[in-house]
Amino acid sequence: MGYEDQKPLIFMVVLQFVYAGITLSTRASLLQGMSPRVFVVYRQALAALLVAPVAFFRSRKGGNTCSLGWKNFCLIFLVSLVGVTANQNIYFEGLYLASSSIASAMGNLLPAITFVLAYIVGQEKINIRSLRSKAKFIGTIICVTGAISMVLLKGPKLLNKEFHSDPIHSILRLSKGGETWLLGCLLLFASNCCWSIWLILQAPVSKSYPDHLSLTAWMCFIAAWQSAIVAFFIEKDLDAWKLQTPLELGCLFFTAGASAISFFAQAWCICKRGPLFSAMFNPLSTVIVTFIAFTFFREELYIGSLLGAIAVIFGLYIVLWGKAKDHMINSDVEKKPEEEKINYTIVVDESTDKLSCRIDLEEPLLHKQTIDLKDDQKH
């Protein structure tokens, strides 16, 4: 196996470090005093500035511009509201109230939540007699059980680390640390639900507006305005919009640039190896975030949360195994030789004329027997 074959593997491992860096640096800037709502506005605005020129020149060069009518605008507005504005505002609020390791572990619930929502809307089918359907169902239950364990069964602390931060910029004023942790986990779960809905909505949106790069630029631009309106009504203090430390400024540019780069790298890896190969690396980011946060950022780590995260990862792989079996079966059906498809079609079409077919097959045999009888009579 040469270097070219190893490229997707290398890129996916590097991407997990990038995702871990985004999670850790974002939480660090939030703990420094930056407002989560303001952070979403700045991040989406920078992402739009990075993606929009590339999308514009690529569409001009390729000549594949899509029309932005009222229907497409409403669809893009909806997916931006659900998948970016609501998702990121809820996610960063949960990240602020909980911890970076829990936020990364909760992200592994995404395939299970998407499977449940896709089944509700009819995009997924469950055959209880099929082993792959059972795997997806059981894996979803294990993921949800692990997530509940992470939230409710914290257990004793590992190495008894003590570190407390007061979430002064949270819109949810809580007095007890346990309530802060619980609410943060619930917000992270809600964020995954928003992201799953966004994934399901991609089918009609991509069909109506197939230019994905231009679609991304529009989503970032619209989400920036939506998030700005949300922040304007929530953040009463104008000082919250100021970048007071170099860490906040560096985190914004890093997350915006890393998001833009990871978009292209992720799309390239999916094109080469498929979406299942990409999803298999998600737990690696959780391990990286947990190790760095626990070692260098003094985040509290509980035995119950650790066991719950392991259960979530285990359930994730069971769900992915079931999806992989579905993908293999669909690929085998699509790769059938054209000769087999033609022969099969002929048999099906001629099944209505079964009598004439039988006569054609039996007539030579009867004719041969008749000739043999005549020869015996002559002798």
Confidence band, pLDDT 50/70/90 cuts, at residue 112: confident
Is residue 55 within 8 A of residue 173, CB to CB? The reply is: no
Report pLDDT digits (tens) over 47-73.
889 888 888 888 777 666 667 788 889
| Distance, CA of 33 to CA of 240 (rounded, Å) | 8
Task: Specify the 3-state DSSP secondary structure of 165.
Answer: coil
Identity (one letter) of the amino acid at 111?
P
Q: What percent of the chain has pLDDT over 70?
A: 74
Query: What is the pLDDT at residue 272?
Result: 75
Confidence band, pLDDT 50/70/90 cuts, at residue 86: very high
Is residue 250 within 8 A of residue 244, CB to CB? The reply is: no
pLDDT-wise least confident of 145-154, 241-250, 363-372: 363-372
Of 294, 320, 306, residue with least CA distance to 20: 294
* Sequential DSSP letters for 144-165: HHHHHHHHH---SBSTT-----
- Tokens 């991609």 belong to 202
Q: What is the mean pLDDT of the chain?
A: 76
Identity (one letter) of the amino acid at 201?
L
Specify the higher pLDDT residue, 21 or 366.
Answer: 21
Q: Is the predicted pLDDT of residue 227 greater than 90, yes or no?
A: yes
Specify the higher pLDDT residue, 6 or 334.
Answer: 6
Q: Is the predicted pLDDT of residue 379 greater than 60, yes or no?
A: no
- Written as six digits, the tokens of 24 are 């850790």
| Distance, CA of 346 to CA of 339 (rounded, Å) | 11
Query: What is the pLDDT at residue 366?
Result: 41
Of 194, 25, 177, residue with least CA distance to 106: 194
Q: What is the DSSP letter of 163?
A: -
Query: What is the pLDDT at residue 263?
Result: 65
Of 225, 202, 171, residue with least CA distance to 44: 225
Strands (E), 148-220: none
Q: Is the predicted pLDDT of residue 300 greater than 50, yes or no?
A: yes
Query: What is the pLDDT at residue 160?
Result: 45
Q: Is the predicted pLDDT of residue 39 greater than 60, yes or no?
A: yes
Confidence band, pLDDT 50/70/90 cuts, at residue 361: very low
Confidence band, pLDDT 50/70/90 cuts, at residue 364: very low
Is residue 139 within 8 A of residue 319, CB to CB? The reply is: yes
Q: What is the DSSP letter of 157?
A: B
What are the structural domain ranges in the chain? Answer: 3-334, 338-378
Confidence band, pLDDT 50/70/90 cuts, at residue 194: very high
Identity (one letter) of the amino acid at 167?
P
- Helix, strand and coil percent figures for the chain, each rounded to 5: 80, 0, 20
Query: What is the pLDDT at residue 275?
Result: 62
Q: Is the predicted pLDDT of residue 206 greater than 90, yes or no?
A: no
Confidence band, pLDDT 50/70/90 cuts, at residue 165: low
Q: What percent of the chain has pLDDT over 90?
A: 10
Residue range 280-299: mean pLDDT, rounded:
81
